[in-house]
Amino acid sequence: MAVAAAEVPPKRARIEGPAELAPMSTLPTPSRPAVRFAEEEAPLELSEYQRRAMATAFYPQKGNNVAYAALGLAGESGEVANKVKKVLRDAGGDFSLERRREIADEVGDVLWYAAALANELGVPLEEIARRNLAKLKSRSERGAMAGSGDRR
């Protein structure tokens, strides 16, 4: 089930320098300040992101090509890992603002392919996010966060 697309997506937001660092209370982790995008817009719902991202999708058999989206997701995830590896190897683990910018751009590409894969599966990203949070909550409540396997 393809997501309809009616508008051209906005330009990619720029990440500004250190003066634009978000307060610590907004961080996913307390050890690293978050970077704010210079052009602030209204919050973006996952369904809206998925719709707008798919307006830019151009690949063979779009709407019937799970493999293409899954392989693209794996490839972009590898690019994120490679950039992180190079920070560890070449910069002694110093995730400077510029390096964080570069990695964030690659994470954006991962998000695009995640949206494409969800679209190919006919599942809204919001549903995937809800199911994932429910799974994590269940694991946490059962004390099963550690370990491995889908059935923890």
Closest CA to 48 of 105, 90, 111: 111
Please say if the pLDDT value at position 41 is more than 90: no
Q: What is the pLDDT of residue 31?
A: 66
25-53 average pLDDT score: 74
Could you give all domains of the chain from N- to C-terminal order, each with its CATH number? 46-141 (1.10.287.1080)
Higher pLDDT, 152 or 56: 56
pTM beyond 0.85: no
- The mean pLDDT of 80-94, rounded to a whole number, is 97
Q: Exposed, middle or buried: residue 41 (CB in 10 Å: 0-12, 13-18, 19+)?
A: exposed
- In whole angstroms, give the CA distance from residue 22 to residue 144: 32
* Tokens, residue 75: 């490839």
Which has the higher per-residue pLDDT, 24 or 45?
45
Mean pLDDT value across the chain: 82
Partners of residue 113 on adjacent β-strands? none
Kindly report, residue by residue over 94-108, the tens digit of the pLDDT: 999 999 999 999 999
What is the spatial distance between Cα 67 and Cα 71, in angstroms, rounded to a whole number? 6
**Measured between alpha carbons, how far is 51 from 57 in angstroms, rounded to an integer?**
10
